[in-house]
Structure formats: C-alpha cells, structure tokens
Amino acid sequence: MNATRALLAIMVAVITAAQAHAADITQLSLGEAISRGLEQNNQGRAARFQAEAARSGATAASLHYLPSVTLEETWSRSNVPVNTFMMKLNQGRFTAQDFDPARLNNPAPVSDYRSAVTVEQPLLVPSAWAGQQVAERGAERQEALAQLSKEQVAFQIFQRYLEVQQAKAQLQVVEKAVDEARESRRQAIVRTKAGLGLKSDELRAETQLAGVEQQAISAANNLILARMRLALATGGQPGEQLDARDGVTIKPPGQQPAVLQALANQQRLDLRAAERAKEQADAALLQTRTGFLPTMGAFGSWQMNDHATPVGRDHDAWMAGVTLRWNIFDGFRTWNTSAQASASRAAAAEMLEQTRKQVNYEVREALLRRQEAEKRLQVAQNAVSAAEETTRILAKRFDNALATMLELLDAQNALNQARANLVESNAYLLLATGRVYYAAGTFLKEVQQ
C-alpha cells in the first residue's frame, strides 16, 4: 500500500509540475480559435482550393466562343512523288521540267519548311453554351461546399473548445475530491489513534484516496489531449496544445421550430449544394441533347513554304472558309449519353429531396436535444445540492460517531459523481445550443457576432 501511495504521489507531482507550465500554452477565446481554424485548418483550405479550381473551370467554359490562334512550324523531307510535287508547288518552285515523267515517277528528295498561322472562330456550338451552364452550376456547388466546410470546421472547433473547458472543470472536480478524500483519511487516522475508530475505516479511506488520485491523473491527461485536439482542429501541428481562455456564452435560440426549419431551408449550405447539383444535372442533360444539333465554325490560315530555311518564304498562300457539321448518326451514342444524363438528373433530384428531409429532421432533433439538455442540467444541479447536503450531514454524524466511514465514503462518491455529471450537463447544454444553430445553418454567424 505504501509503495502504491508513493507511486501515486510521484505521478500527481509530475502532473502538478506540468500544470505549472500551462501558462506557456497559447490561450485563445472561442472567436480567436475559430478565426485561426478557418485560416489554417487543412480541410477548409482544401475546400477553398477545390472551389477555386471549379470557378476557373467555369471561366474556361465561358470562353469557348473566343477565337483560337495557332502558330506552326513544320519540317519534312520526302521523295514520295505526290509529296515532292506538292512541296515544290507550295514553294513556288514548280517548273515545266517537273512534268517530265521520269522526274514525276522518280523524284529527287525534297525538303520543306512550312510556317503557318491558323485562326479558328466558333460560330454556332450549342453544346458550348450548355457546357458553360454545367461548369457554372458546378462552381456554385463547389463554392457552397467550401462554405459548408467553414461551418463544419467552426463547429468542430466549438466542440473541441467545449471539451477543453469540460476537461478543465472535470480536473477541478477531481482535485476537490482528492482534497476531501485526504480529509476523510485524516479523520480516520485521528479517530484510530484516539481509539474511537477502526483500522478498517482508515484502510477504506486510504483506498478511496488512491482511487480519486488515479482519477486526477486521468483527468489531467484528458485535459492535455483535449488541448491537443483543439490545436489540431485549428490547423496546429501534432503535439501542439491550445487552451480555452474564456468561458463559452451562446444565447438560447428564440425562434419557434417552424421558423428554424424555414431558416434552415434558406441557409443550410449542404441543401444549397444539393440544389446546385440538381441544376448542374439539368444543364448536363441539356448538353447531351445538343449533340443532335449542328455546329458551325469559321477558319482562316496563312502559310509560308521554303525549301531551305525555317520561317523562310519561297512562297506564301492563304485559305479561309466556314464549316458546318451535323451529326446525323453516331451509332446511338448520343441517345444513350442522353439517357445516362437523364438518369443522373433523376438521382440528383432524389438526393435533393432527401437532403431537404434530412435538414428538417436535424432541426427537430437539435431542438429536442436542447430541451433534454436543459432538463438534465436542472436535475444535475439538484443532485449536486442534495449530495452536498448528504455529505455534510454524514460528515457531522461521523465526527459524532453516529455514522460509519463506509457511509461517509459512499456519500462522497455520490457527490463526486454528481459534480462530474453537472460539468458534463453544462457542456452538453452549450453543445446542444450550438447544434441548433448548426442545424439551422447559422452557426458561424452566431459565434462571430
């Protein structure tokens, strides 16, 4: 027993020393922690980059009707009769002697440097307009998801911040229980020495103290881990710790359930993303159906040909024209692609409807959980008051030899549990309140006010 007590004393001393350095740990308010997390959290940063990529894609899709200009330099050498004939003709070096059948059938190798500038201008591309709509709705969906990621990161930091506060409060509860257990042990030792108590009472008190000291070790470790989780949620490095500086205050939601549900239908970003996904599927279906329409484009080209020098000019020429293409039959590929897009659109519509149902359910659940949290807090407060009074009465009775040590220790255990439940109930109410705003899609607005 003495060895166990010594080991526990050493561990408690180590934890106390570690807590003495807690002042070196960065302390942040909830607002500061959320601001840091929105800036540094990797999940949020990834979502912003994805939104940026989608927006760049939408911009690229909107530029389809701008002309394209291509510069080209080509060198070739051949003794194929047709090729040599055309090379000399393009170079302006074709002569009457080149009509000699012997030269035509067995020409000497000819080199050609071709320099060309080509301009292509789309005139009518129905799929381009639809593709722009697809990309635009996709960018809006990704932007909504990026905003949703901010809400998720902020709420995660809120949870981690509450965990730090709860861990600190639990540690205070356990430390108080350690002090009370030490006092009980002292009383037992005094009574035993005075011949008024039993050795078994002293041993029970010793066991009680060892148990709560073990709880203190776990509570101190839980606080360290909670601080590390908070640092990780705000984008910190592994092993870094952040401490909660201030208490969390968040006003109770004053809106009626119907009002909160209507607000959620307007503000929830996952619902907005689902709506954009449905609109994107609509545009994608339209894009596949434009495959049945014709396309038209203009082109122009100017080229120089030289037999010996790159970018040389033995001769130059130009060409311009308009192209009309109409896909009359492509082996039913367009038909089946359209059917695929129609099924995807139906799936997006179903997902949108399911998201609406889920949003309404989550609002109702959050409100019910908050009502539950309020009642649990009231019960926990009453339990602490009753347990404190019971322990006070039994302590006096024990001093007057009217109660046993076992009864007193049982009362202290009940009080310790009641205090721990009160800490948990306080944190649960704050979390439940925040979850109501999160379900309504207004959490970030509320905590940043």
Measured distance CA(400)–CA(345) in Å, rounded: 80
Strands 242-244 and 110-124, by their bridges, are unpaired
What distance in Å separates the CA atoms of residue 267 and residue 280, rounded to the nearest whole number? Answer: 20
Q: Do 133 and 60 form a contact (C-beta atoms < 8 A)?
A: no
Which of 165, 185, 229 lies closest to 423 in space, CA to CA? Answer: 165
Residues of the chain scoring pLDDT < 70: 1-23, 196, 449
- Are the CB atoms for 30 and 248 separated by under 8 Å? yes
Q: What is the pLDDT of residue 352?
A: 95
- Output the CA torsion sign for 372, 377, 383, 387: positive
pLDDT on residue 226 = 94
Q: Give residue-wise pLDDT tens across range 379-401.
A: 999 999 999 999 899 888 877 77
pLDDT value, residue 416: 87
Check: CB of residue 12 under 8 Å from CB of residue 213: yes
What topology is assigned to 2-447 in CATH?
Outer membrane efflux proteins (OEP) (1.20.1600)
The 3-state DSSP composition of the chain as helix, strand, coil percent (nearest 5) reads 70, 10, 15
SS3 state at 321: strand
- Paired with 123 in beta bridges are none
Q: Give the per-residue pLDDT at 5.
A: 52
Burial of 252 (C-beta count, 10 Å sphere; 0-12/13-18/19+): exposed
Q: Which helix (H) or strand (E) holds 70?
A: strand 68-78
